[in-house]
């Protein structure tokens, strides 16, 4: 059986690496290493040794050029010391080898601005979408109901009935696309795997605060056509146990939080396919 190994990137403003690594272990990964981005750039750590890459939440480079834009440029144009191999080549090889990437909040912003999502036609370096300032112009910190598209190829949401309840905390979470053609392709291929919804997970909504940022078509999460690469603004790693629920002292809840299935599905996929 394959030893499932997850890698969580930290540094330059990320702040959810401990929670992400913990979620990976709870989900069934044998190893969840937290590595600073400088370790990738120096060659001390290589993506080739791992199966699941986590790009976590935070405020990369202070969001000074827009959320995650500086890190997107760093990963796209920097080279590994010594070998001279561009980091982006490692990323593309990682994807080509059938491995998994999950970007959460700042990590989702990073993936979108690199072009890794929605990656229509398997072009992982062409940016066709962005995440920008919330429609109300303010940082939002609240819990949201998220409807899952059962037809989505996303491996992370497999087995979820209805939807999930997860926290968001961001100032730039409004998902937009470059043109109607891109939006039609995302919706037509069911790549919009998560949408902000009513509390019964029956319908997506553009109403605030259920939709906290005004994302087009209420899109909260997107995957690529393989279902292995996914990004979302809500934080699944922040709800893996009942005590993380805002009403855990007042409601009877399952021991596991709604976000844990994302990591469990990833670990199962690794063991069965890699």
148 bridge partner residues: 194
Tokens of 138: 């303010």
Tokens of 144: 């949201």
Close Cβ partners of 137 (under 8 Å, ≥ 6 residues apart)? none
Q: Which contiguous run of DSSP H or E holds residue 72?
A: helix 69-77
- Given 51, 170, 193, 235, which residue is catalytic? 235
Across the beta sheet with 229-232, what order do the strands follow? 31-36, 5-10, 52-55, 100-104, 229-232, 219-223, 194-196, 140-148, 163-170
* Alpha-carbon span 193 to 215, nearest angstrom: 14
Residue 190 annotated as catalytic: no
Residue 237 annotated as catalytic: yes
Question: ∠ CA 158-191-21 to the nearest 5 degrees?
Answer: 55
Residue 105 annotated as catalytic: yes
197 bridge partner residues: 204
Contact 112, 172 (CB under 8 A): no
- Given 16, 105, 193, 223, which residue is catalytic? 105
- Given 17, 19, 172, 237, which residue is catalytic? 237
Helix axes 106-114, 69-77, angle to 10 degrees: 50
**Beta strand extents in 105-172 (DSSP E only):** 129-132, 140-148, 163-170
Q: Quote the distance between the C-alpha of residue 139 and its chain's center.
A: 19
Q: Which residues are known catalytic residues?
A: 105, 235, 237
């Amino acid at each position: 059986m394959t030893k499932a190994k997850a890698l969580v990137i930290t540094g330059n403003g990320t702040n959810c690496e401990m929670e992400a690594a913990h979620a990976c272990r709870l989900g069934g990964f044998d190893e969840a290493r937290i590595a600073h981005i400088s370790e990738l750039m120096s060659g001390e750590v290589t993506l080739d040794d791992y199966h699941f890459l986590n790009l976590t939440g935070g405020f990369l480079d202070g969001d000074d050029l827009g959320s995650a834009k500086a890190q997107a440029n760093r990963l796209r144009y920097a080279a590994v010391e010594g070998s001279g191999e561009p980091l982006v080549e490692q990323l593309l090889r990682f994807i080509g080898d059938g491995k998994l990437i999950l970007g959460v909040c700042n990590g989702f912003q990073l993936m979108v601005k690199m072009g890794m999502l929605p990656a229509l036609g398997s072009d992982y370096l062409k940016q066709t979408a962005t995440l920008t300032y919330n429609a109300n112009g303010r940082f939002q910190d609240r819990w949201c109901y998220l409807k899952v598209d059962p037809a989505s190829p996303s491996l992370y949401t497999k087995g979820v009935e209805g939807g999930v309840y997860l926290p968001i905390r961001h100032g730039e979470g409004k998902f937009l696309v470059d043109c109607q053609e891109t939006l039609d392709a995302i919706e037509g291929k069911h790549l919009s795997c998560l949408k902000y919804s009513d509390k019964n997970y029956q319908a997506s909504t553009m109403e605030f605060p259920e939709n906290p940022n005004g994302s087009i078509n209420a899109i909260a999460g997107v995957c690529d056509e393989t279902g292995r690469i996914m990004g979302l603004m809500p934080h699944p790693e922040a709800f893996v146990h009942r005590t993380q629920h805002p009403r855990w002292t007042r409601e009877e809840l399952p021991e596991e939080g709604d976000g844990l299935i994302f990591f469990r599905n990833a670990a199962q996929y690794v063991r069965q396919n890699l």
